[in-house]
Chains A and B, each alone.
Chain A
Amino acid sequence: MSERNEILPPAGFAERWASTNWNVIPPIPQQPLMNMALDEVLTERVGRGELGPTIRFWAWSAPCVVLGRFQSVRNEVNEENAAANGIQIVRRISGGGAMFIEPEGAITWSIYAPDSVVSGMSFPESYAALDSWVIRALRGLGVDAWYAPLNDITSANGKIGGAAQARRLGAVLHHTTMAYEMNVPLMLDTLRIGQEKMSDKGTRSADKRVGPLRQQTEMSRDAIISHLWQDLANLAQTTSATLRDEDIAEAERRVVERFGLRSWTHLLP
């Protein structure tokens, strides 16, 4: 990467972030469909004011491809190969690109915040702002990371991760996935990565663009998540929280009624 295309959060955001009291939910493995549904349930609860600003660290109990809200299955996934490799296809409520997820290979979290946390910001500024604590935490681990518009966490050694947002009922959902370790052959066997997608990247293959954190830190996945949490707690007020039984029940209901149905996963065939 020859030059840095960096976007910074707006002035004063650090104070806004620090004065917010964040509930933090630790990673508990969930089925991919439950992770999709929980994001919607918790965003709505924050939007209705029933729950304060919350950050949920994810854990995955199965490999999957997570499609963006507006992506077509056949354009992004080799469904035959995915099925043969036991990789489920799910669709999230936010836009953005497909993610290939293996449970030990990804570090994912969601931020559920009232719109007031990003008020006055453009969408690009809000992306940079809501991941600014992560950039700081990564630098604390010696990773030369920065935020590249629109929604990428990147580094001198390649892209680390990406974020996506959805807005619901006065709340913003901002979720981010970072690559910890990548099974590149399995990813390339599963995802369709066309030439047009790479047209402005200046690299010839998908695997050259990424700099997974294991390679860059030699730390365990759990140790990186602990560091993120600790760094977050150093910057803002945090309270350890858990999912309520009724949130889990509501998410399970939405999996049955929507997220698990072909009419949602194959909304765009």
Chain B
Amino acid sequence: MHHGEFKTPGGKLVAVDFDVRNGEFAGVLVHGDFFLYPDDAFEDLAAALEGAPVGEPDDVVAERIRTRLRTGAELLGTSPEGIATAVARALAAGPVNDGGRS
């Protein structure tokens, strides 16, 4: 499993957990102490990354999230760019032992 975090200065923390399978994101979890309205839009965050190719530039990853997030949804305390930074950090850190959960 990969794990990365990013706290927007003056804002909130976002974290991502995922595996890399065949060069794609798998089993993605996006979580943190941010706010998102409406709360149903939460599923869009992980869905934006699931199955996407690993290794795209941060701005492409951010755009994937922005495009997938349903119309009218509002993220508070983090942003598509913040999530992309957490993803980049998770990849840079390499796989971590998750106790066999994945």
Residues of A within 8 A of B (CB): 5, 68-72, 75, 93-98, 123-124, 149-151, 164-167, 194, 196-197, 199-200, 268-269
Contact = CB atoms under 8 A, between A and B. Distances in A.
A7 to B, nearest CB: 11
Contacts of A72: 15, 17, 29, 31
Contacts of B23: none
Interface of B: 5-7, 9-13, 15, 17, 29-39, 42, 74, 76-77, 101
B40 to A, nearest CB: 11
Given A69-B39, A75-B15, A196 B29 contact: no
A167 B37 contact: yes
Given A123-B35, A167-B37, A199 B17 contact: no
Contacts of A98: 33
A165 B35 contact: yes
B5 A196 contact: yes
Given A96-B12, A165-B35, A268-B31, 14 more contacts: A68-B33, A70-B32, A75-B15, A94-B35, A97-B33, A123-B74, A150-B11, A150-B35, A196-B5, A199-B7, A199-B9, A200-B7, A200-B9, A269-B101
Contacts, number: 70
Contacts of B10: 5, 149, 200
Contacts of B13: 97, 196-197
- The interface centre, meaning the residue of A93, A164, A197 with most chain B CB atoms within 10 A of its CB, is A197
A150 B76 contact: yes
A118 to B, nearest CB: 12
A240 to B, nearest CB: 32
Q: B interface, by DSSP: helix, strand, loop or mixed?
A: strand
Contacts of A164: 35
Nearest to A196: B5
A196 B6 contact: yes
A194 B17 CA distance: 15
A95 B35 contact: yes
Contacts of A194: 5
B38 A167 contact: yes
A71 B33 contact: yes
Interface of A is mostly: loop
B80 to A, nearest CB: 15
Most chain A beta-carbon neighbours within 10 Å: one of B5, B38, B76, B101: B76
Contacts of A94: 35
A70 B5 contact: no
24 contacts: A68-B33, A70-B30, A70-B33, A70-B34, A70-B42, A71-B31, A72-B15, A72-B31, A95-B33, A96-B35, A97-B33, A98-B33, A123-B35, A123-B74, A150-B11, A150-B77, A164-B35, A167-B37, A196-B5, A197-B7, A197-B13, A199-B9, A200-B10, A269-B29
